[in-house]
Chain A
Amino acid sequence: GENVEQHPSTLSVQEGDSAVIKCTYSDSASNYFPWYKQELGKRPQLIIDIRSNVGEKKDQRIAVTLNKTAKHFSLHITETQPEDSAVYFCAASSGNQFYFGTGTSLTVIP
């Protein structure tokens, strides 16, 4: 089955700096890669996603890049704000079933 690895597990950045979270996957059949933000005790919220036919996608301060050959994809958050502090999960899917990364706890220091 699919194996998704995510790094780093914790990340602290100063407000205004950029944050980058990286994931790798093993199954070349995976074709959909969403990123979720989860605040403590709440449900994961989809923040951005990318499909395998696209190399990069951007939505305001958030961007995702995908390298199919290397089987890795990354989340980039620019101009970080304290409200960006949360746990972020990547996932890979080749159909309805998702395989989640282990999560990254992001802390933005004011």
Chain B
Amino acid sequence: GAVVSQHPSWVICKSGTSVKIECRSLDFQATTMFWYRQFPKQSLMLMATSNEGSKATYEQGVEKDKFLINHASLTLSTLTVTSAHPEDSSFYICSAPRQGDQPQHFGDGTRLSIL
């Protein structure tokens, strides 16, 4: 079964709206979570690494003020797409590794459609 829960699974909203996506580790504590963006027929592109209790680390080219990441607890990380525009439409997926284990466990992803 799923070990990482992500919601919502699908969001459709108007341009200018801010959208929050939640990622929860279900039966383990995740000090680190990863946020990816995936455009159609493309690979997963790492956007940022969220760290519990400290600031997220963003990949080059990812706007920090646009994609706000908060890792408030050992089981929850959130990604907020602020003032979303059509070009932000994409599939966003979070993942987390279990402590002491390398495989990443992915959430179900959030399909974001900005009209």
Residues in A lying within 8 Å of B, measured CB to CB:
32, 34, 41-46, 49, 89, 93, 96-103, 105
Contacts and interface: CB of A to CB of B under 8 A. Distances in A.
Interface of B: 32, 34, 41-44, 46, 49, 91, 93, 97, 102-109, 111
A97 B109 CA distance: 18
Contacts, number: 46
SS class of chain B's interface: helix, strand, loop or mixed? strand
B49 A97 contact: yes
B102 A101 contact: no
Contacts of A93: 102
A44 B32 contact: no
Which of B32, B41, B43, B97 neighbours the largest number of chain A CB atoms within 10 Å of its CB? B43
A97 B46 contact: yes
A89 B43 contact: yes
B77 to A, nearest CB: 14
